[in-house]
Chains A and B, each alone.
Chain A
Amino acid sequence: MSEAAAWLVLFLPLASFLIISLVIRPFFNRYSQWAGYLTILAIGGALVLSLMALKATTGHEGPIGWDPHSWITVGSFNLRLGIYMNSLTAIMLVVVSGVSLMVQVYSQGYMKGDPGYARYFAFMSLFTASMLGLVLASNVVMLYAFWELVGLCSYLLIGFWYHRPAAAAAAKKAFIVTRLGDFGFLLAILYLFFHQGAIAGQGLNSLEIPDIYRAVQTGLLGTAVLTWLGLGIFAGAVGKSAQFPLHVWLPDAMEGPTPVSALIHAATMVAAGVFLVARFFPIFEAAPATLRLVAVIGGATAVFAATMGMVMNDIKRVVAYSTISQLGYMMLGLGVAGLAVAREGHVTAEVARAAVAIGIFHLFNHAFFKALLFLGSGSVNHATGTVDMRLMGGLRKVMPWTYITFVIAGLSLAGVWPLAGFWSKDEILAVALKEQPVLFALALLTVFMTAFYIFRVVFLTFCGEYRGGAPGEHGHDAHAHGKPHESPPVMVVPMVILSVLAVISGFWNVNGAFSVFMGEGQTKGFFEGFFGILAHPLPWIAMIVAGLGIFLAYLMYGSKRISAERMGERFKPIYTLFYRKYYFDELYENLFVRRSLVNGLFAGFQKFDTNVVDGAVNGLANVTVATGKGVRRWQTGQLQLYGLFMGIGIVVIVLVLLFAG
């Protein structure tokens, strides 16, 4: 694995973006299939290179170091561009490029005939490039640049059908809400830069990630500094990963095309927050207060989002809330694992790796099954023209492939042995139990609700009788849907591939290999791990809880033995609370946006604008006019006067030359 190959991972999709947007779309047909083929080719290349990177980092102790390239040098300030390639990078590369490739193939079918076909693939290429760049970046400024770029792509793709007001509003909302978190991240970067002096003596650069690690390990930065840094970075992660209280944007982001949701809002960009925490884990590790905050926010978000997921009628929104919940799970995993392993008294570097292994393993598995869930709901949406589950039903018979893959993904999400979700979820549960029983209880509650809501979707969508599909023109595209039908192979094949991954991706850590790959722990026999885990009580508890959830969903929506309506009536206040998303949108809208911003801040801005800014502009104009009026008197139109002025000027010059020169 040479450095050029690592850069190529980033530049292949970027080249695809440039070619599509500068050559194919302007000069050829904007429906051209070549845009899609090119994207697939570029991202396929990136995937191959990512796998090479994975192979290169396997068994490689520590990061593969390439000297960064100097970019901006101002005095002692030196900003460099480089690649930080370690196991975390490699695993993220594989996730991003792998899921992205599947999504692009799927999109060939899903976006066919859309007027924005070429634009779509251009944005997707740019997004993939930015996400890969984010993962590869070796310094925080570069990381931040790509961090904002993925935010931009998210904005562009959520608002892809910008002619729909809901999509445009959702895009704005996503961008603005994540900006709040990004601001925290930016402050953290500035704070790092501010502390350059503290570590410059050791020849370290506070903006380079490896140097930050070294500074933390050698104790050059105090705990207070690290706590503030951790808080800032976590703020960025909260925004990007839609954690409480900045979760409100992600459900609305479902206005974008479904493959976009699968790629950006399930597998990759929202996971960037988790990645960010993992990337800067040494900082968190050295400031346990922040780690506790990560764990608590993660656990709270997991439950909180799951409750809302239980009552939504929009299939994509259920999956979106599920994503928030699972991201909370990852945060929980990172937090409690960090705390737990720290308590056992390892040195910092090993703790970091172990904890990161637990959180990232769930990210890795989640990417596949959640992308699959989104692609499945996109497939359903494609067939029925609606996203409202009340209008679906009975699709099992007409869409067997979608049904099977969706169920596999659902089981994986619910954490059923031996599917992927089981393995990572079990690790998080185990470490949570060890560390903090309250958080463990929250996590277990989440397991129950997760199983319930995802099988509610399964029963509502695929079982029973077909309830008519789209009433109007709700679908993403214009072509009329008579009867629901199975999606074309170009969409089904990626789903099948992803479903295989959703089954087997968890096997990687059955024998502890993933943890070893991440630099911590030891391997054991595969079958020992595969079946041995069932000897412990915890997996059984988790699976029984999940089974209860599935069973309840079956009773309510499968066999209808319990009426969902009556349940809704009985628990009406709670149902309404969940359904209205805890009134968070209203709260933000009224409290922050309307009262504080519009009435307070913006009114102040307006006053400032009319009085100070306009005053300055008008004053300047008045001064100019007055000056002009004054000077106009000199412009008599008398040529001789002008000559006189010239003469006076010459005399003045002569005087100056004679007496000053």
Chain B
Amino acid sequence: MLAPIGLEHFLVLSGALFSIGLYGALAKKNAVVVLMSIELMFNAVNVAVVAFSRYIAPATTAQLPDTARFLLTGQVFAVFVITVAAAEVALGLALVLAIYRLRATVHVTEMNLMKQ
């Protein structure tokens, strides 16, 4: 039947998620949707990082028992990524709201004040 799940599976999933997020971030007019797409990309990265931590790190960092805890460095970085994502989404949505109040739109194509 299906091959056992390995690193490649997680990475391809991560790549798919990232590509969908990229498409949304580049192609969508609605600023909120753009932010959501960016969250998708963050998630894709987290999946990849944790998968590396799970499959690659033991072969490279766990040669000595007393450094075994560094296996989880990938997970720790995922924590930081989530933190940054939270900050980013809070600020991003605040910006969207502020712009909406000012110009009554959330379409990024209409946010071109710098051009004028």
Chain A residues closer than 8 Å to B111, beta-carbon distance: 639
Chain A residues closer than 8 Å to B115, beta-carbon distance: 635-637
* CB atoms of A640 and B112 under 8 A apart: no
For B22, B34, B109, which residue has the most chain A Cβ atoms within 10 angstroms? Answer: B109
Q: What are 18 residue pairs bridging A and B, where the CB atoms are less than 8 Å apart in the complex?
A: A635-B115, A636-B112, A636-B115, A637-B115, A637-B116, A638-B108, A638-B109, A638-B112, A639-B108, A639-B111, A640-B26, A640-B27, A640-B34, A640-B108, A643-B26, A644-B26, A647-B22, A647-B26
Chain B residues closer than 8 Å to A635, beta-carbon distance: 115
Chain A residues closer than 8 Å to B5, beta-carbon distance: none
A476-521 interface with B by 8 A CB criterion:
none
Q: Is the interface of A mostly helix, strand, loop or mixed?
A: helix
A370-406 interface with B by 8 A CB criterion:
none
* CB atoms of B114 and A640 under 8 A apart: no
Contact bitstring B33-58, A, C-beta under 8 A = 1, else 0 = 01000000000000000000000000
Distance between B95 CB and nearest chain A CB, rounded to angstroms: 12
Q: Is the interface of B mostly helix, strand, loop or mixed?
A: helix
Give chain A's interface residues, CB within 8 Å of chain B.
Answer: 635-640, 643-644, 647
Chain B residues closer than 8 Å to A647, beta-carbon distance: 22, 26
Range of interface residues on chain B?
10 to 19
* Assembled-state Cα–Cα distance A303/B76 (Å): 103
Chain B residues closer than 8 Å to A638, beta-carbon distance: 108-109, 112
For A644, give the chain B residue with the smallest CB separation.
Answer: B26
Chain B residues closer than 8 Å to A636, beta-carbon distance: 112, 115
* Assembled-state Cα–Cα distance A134/B34 (Å): 79
Chain A residues closer than 8 Å to B34, beta-carbon distance: 640
* CB atoms of B112 and A643 under 8 A apart: no
Chain B residues closer than 8 Å to A640, beta-carbon distance: 25-27, 34, 108-109
* CB atoms of A637 and B114 under 8 A apart: yes
Known: A637-B116, A640-B25. 16 other contacts (CB 8 A): A635-B115, A636-B112, A636-B115, A637-B112, A637-B113, A638-B108, A638-B109, A638-B112, A639-B108, A639-B111, A640-B34, A640-B108, A640-B109, A644-B26, A647-B22, A647-B26
Chain A residues closer than 8 Å to B22, beta-carbon distance: 647
For A641, give the chain B residue with the smallest CB separation.
Answer: B26
* Assembled-state Cα–Cα distance A639/B108 (Å): 8
* Assembled-state Cα–Cα distance A635/B116 (Å): 11
Distance between B32 CB and nearest chain A CB, rounded to angstroms: 14
9 closest Cβ pairs, A-B complex: A637-B115, A637-B112, A640-B26, A637-B114, A643-B26, A644-B26, A638-B109, A640-B108, A639-B108
Distance between A257 CB and nearest chain B CB, rounded to angstroms: 67
* Assembled-state Cα–Cα distance A637/B34 (Å): 16
Distance between B106 CB and nearest chain A CB, rounded to angstroms: 14
Chain A residues closer than 8 Å to B116, beta-carbon distance: 637
* Assembled-state Cα–Cα distance A640/B113 (Å): 15
Chain B residues closer than 8 Å to A643, beta-carbon distance: 25-26
Contact bitstring B72-116, A, C-beta under 8 A = 1, else 0 = 000000000000000000000000000000000000110111111
* Assembled-state Cα–Cα distance A638/B34 (Å): 13
Chain A residues closer than 8 Å to B26, beta-carbon distance: 640, 643-644, 647
Chain A residues closer than 8 Å to B114, beta-carbon distance: 637
For B109, give the chain A residue with the smallest CB separation.
Answer: A638
For B113, give the chain A residue with the smallest CB separation.
Answer: A637
* Assembled-state Cα–Cα distance A638/B108 (Å): 7
For A639, give the chain B residue with the smallest CB separation.
Answer: B108
Distance between A359 CB and nearest chain B CB, rounded to angstroms: 81
Distance between B69 CB and nearest chain A CB, rounded to angstroms: 35
* Assembled-state Cα–Cα distance A639/B114 (Å): 11
* Assembled-state Cα–Cα distance A266/B29 (Å): 89
* Assembled-state Cα–Cα distance A205/B108 (Å): 76
Distance between A579 CB and nearest chain B CB, rounded to angstroms: 78
* Assembled-state Cα–Cα distance A644/B22 (Å): 9
* Assembled-state Cα–Cα distance A615/B9 (Å): 64
Distance between A121 CB and nearest chain B CB, rounded to angstroms: 64
* Assembled-state Cα–Cα distance A637/B110 (Å): 9
For B25, give the chain A residue with the smallest CB separation.
Answer: A643
For B23, give the chain A residue with the smallest CB separation.
Answer: A647
Distance between A106 CB and nearest chain B CB, rounded to angstroms: 75
